[in-house]
Amino acid sequence: MEDEARELIAAARAAARHAYAPYSGFGVGAAVLLSDGSVITGANFENASYGLSLCAETVALATTSARGRLADVVAIGVIGGIIGPSGPAGSDPVSPCGRCRQVINEAAQLGGRDVRVHCAGAEGDECRSYLLSELLPAAFGPRDLGLA
């Protein structure tokens, strides 16, 4: 695993320990790398009204936006696993859902870069890395509205 992916996966795993997932029992963590090297994390936050739940990637990117840094996103690490007594567990890599891919695309287009997405499990060394354009080809976003 390359250094960038290793750092983001470690930060996402730390964030996932704070996941609030009483309904699915599946904890997800995300870590966003900004152009200055800083990292912003998020964990999933479920709700009894399931449609109001927030994915970890959305939480991390909303925090990034609240800090005025959405256009500075360079990469994101995502992990997930079934929540056990010591936090999320499982080694199969998890990738962002379709909604999160669209949310990541917003930052990617605003920043004018093809954001790297590093996907891993809650445990283990396997990591799959993609460019967002591979995960969401022909994406609709700010560019289509003349905003990026």
Q: Compute the chain's Rg from CA coordinates.
A: 14
Global pTM reads 0.95
b/e per residue, 51-78, with b = 16+ CB within 10 A?
A: eebbbbbbbbbeebbeeebbbbbbbbbb
The backbone torsions φ and ψ at residue 107, rounded to the nearest 5 degrees and listed phi first, read -65, -40
- Give the Cα separation of 29 and 113 in Å (integer): 23
The domains located in the chain, with CATH, are: 3-145 (3.40.140.10)
Does the annotation count 46 as an active-site position? no
The pLDDT confidence band at residue 9, using thresholds 50, 70 and 90, is very high
Please write the tens of the pLDDT for every residue from 20-74: 999 999 999 999 999 999 999 999 999 999 999 999 999 999 999 999 999 999 9
Q: Out of 57, 106, 123, 134, which one is annotated catalytic?
A: 57
Torsion of CA 87, 91, 93, 94, to 10 degrees: -30
| Residue 98 CB contacts under 8 Å (≥ 6 apart), including other chains | 136
Q: What pLDDT, on a 0 to 100 scale, did the predictor assign at position 67?
A: 98
For residue 101, pLDDT over 80 is answered with yes
The pLDDT confidence band at residue 1, using thresholds 50, 70 and 90, is confident
